[in-house]
């Protein structure tokens, strides 16, 4: 499912901010690797999740993401740098 297109992104490590300020069909960029982030992504209709700082989701998170057809990405970069690089390449805020 890595051929999905996204035109906006939202970077945040707070679930409450993700729920309040993100937009549907965004790339959710976060360091949160608990099961709740999959539920949040589903609620906000995110297209995919990118985990920053090299954080890797556990098997329970991966299983739920597969069930929700939600691609998961991982980068070793920090949240700020990840957002900046994606912005430089055309991704805008949601």
The per-residue pLDDT for range 22-51, each reduced to its tens digit, is: 999 999 999 999 999 999 999 999 999 999
Q: How many residues are given for the chain?
A: 94
Identify the CA nearest to 60 among candidates 94, 79, 36: 36
Which residue ranges form the domains of the chain, and what is each CATH number? 8-93 (3.40.1390.20)
The per-residue pLDDT for range 51-90, each reduced to its tens digit, is: 999 999 999 999 999 999 999 999 999 999 999 999 999 9
pTM of the shown model = 0.94
Report how many helices (DSSP H) and strands (DSSP E) the chain contains, helices first. 4, 5
């Amino acid at each position: 499912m890595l051929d999905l297109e996204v035109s906006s992104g939202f970077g945040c490590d707070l679930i409450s901010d993700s729920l309040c300020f993100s937009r549907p069909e965004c790339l959710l960029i976060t360091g949160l690797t608990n099961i709740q982030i999959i539920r949040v992504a589903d609620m906000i209709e995110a297209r995919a999740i990118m985990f920053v700082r090299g954080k890797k989701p556990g098997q329970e998170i991966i299983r739920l993401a597969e069930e929700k057809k939600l691609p998961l990405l991982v980068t070793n970069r920090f949240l700020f740098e990840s957002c900046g690089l994606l912005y430089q390449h055309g991704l805008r805020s949601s």
